[in-house]
């Protein structure tokens, strides 16, 4: 059963160790990540961001038992278990598989994760046009036709990280 937990980022390693000690080796911890490239002082800097911030997905068959959850409430690095996870198993599974399907070879989410729509405004989060707003004119498999101001151009979908406005 999947659960969602809020953690203290500084104690993430301790949390994983304690969960493995108490639950065994069948524990799966998943946190989707983004790699953002920005130009700072004319240098390209890579930054890694957790998509969900302080939240993690954890899977173990023992999470069905509420007694197990109560035993784990005071593990180092754990702030709390997010309530209602038992009723939302289908949504959690769908989200985790969608994230895993859209990861690149390095384990970071690609731009295919977003549901891009024509005639909507987006913003570059990486690359030389970071923080620049544009409008999508046409979508293709790996390319996007965009309009930035009066300039119409085509970009590679895989090369840049974009976010909706």
Alpha-carbon dihedral sign for residues 7, 11, 16, 21: negative
Query: Looking at the structure, do residues 94 and 131 belong to the same domain, yes or no?
Result: no
Strand partners, 123: 133, 163
Q: How many domains does one find in the chain? A: 2
Q: Could you tell me if 65 and 140 lie in one domain?
A: no
pLDDT class of 113 with cuts at 50, 70, 90 = low
Residue 19 tokens read as 């969960």
User: Alpha carbon 87 to chain centroid distance?
Assistant: 22
Examine the domain organization and report whether 63 and 98 are in the same domain: yes
pLDDT for the residue numbered 6: 93
Give mean pLDDT, residues 126-135. 81
Average pLDDT over every residue of 25-44? 81
**Is residue 161 pLDDT above 80, yes or no?**
no
Global pTM reads 0.71
pLDDT in tens, 78-105: 998 888 888 888 999 998 998 888 888 8
Residue 122 CB neighbour total at 10 angstroms = 20
Domain that holds residue 153: 113-164
Q: Do 118 and 157 fall into the same domain?
A: yes
Of residues 110 and 57, the one with the higher pLDDT is 57
Q: How many CA atoms lie within 13 A of 113 on its CB side?
A: 25
**pLDDT higher than 80, residue 12:** yes
CATH of the domain at 127: 2.30.30
Last residue within a domain, chosen from 63, 94, 109: 109
- The answer on 131 and 104 residing in a single domain is no
Pair 69, 134 in one domain: no
**Same domain flag for 90 and 132:** no
Contact criterion met (CB below 8 Å) for 59 and 30: yes
User: What confidence score (pLDDT) does residue 151 get?
Assistant: 87
Q: What is the mean pLDDT of the chain?
A: 84
* CATH number, domain with residue 34: 3.30.70.940
């Amino acid at each position: 059963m999947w659960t969602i937990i809020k953690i203290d980022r500084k104690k993430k390693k301790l949390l994983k160790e304690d969960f493995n000690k108490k639950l065994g080796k069948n524990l799966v911890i998943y946190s989707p990540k983004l790699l953002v490239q920005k130009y700072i002082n004319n240098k390209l800097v890579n930054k890694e961001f957790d998509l969900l911030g302080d939240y993690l997905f954890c899977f173990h068959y023992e999470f069905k038992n509420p007694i197990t959850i109560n035993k784990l409430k005071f593990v180092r690095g754990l702030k709390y278990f997010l309530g209602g996870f038992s009723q939302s198993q289908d949504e959690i599974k769908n989200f985790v598989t969608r994230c895993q399907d859209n990861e690149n070879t390095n384990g970071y989410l690609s731009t295919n994760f977003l549901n891009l729509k024509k005639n909507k405004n987006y913003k570059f989060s990486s690359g030389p046009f970071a923080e620049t707003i544009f409008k999508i004119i046409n979508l293709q498999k790996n390319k996007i036709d965009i309009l930035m101001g009066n300039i119409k151009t085509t970009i590679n979908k895989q090369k840049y990280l974009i976010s909706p406005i």
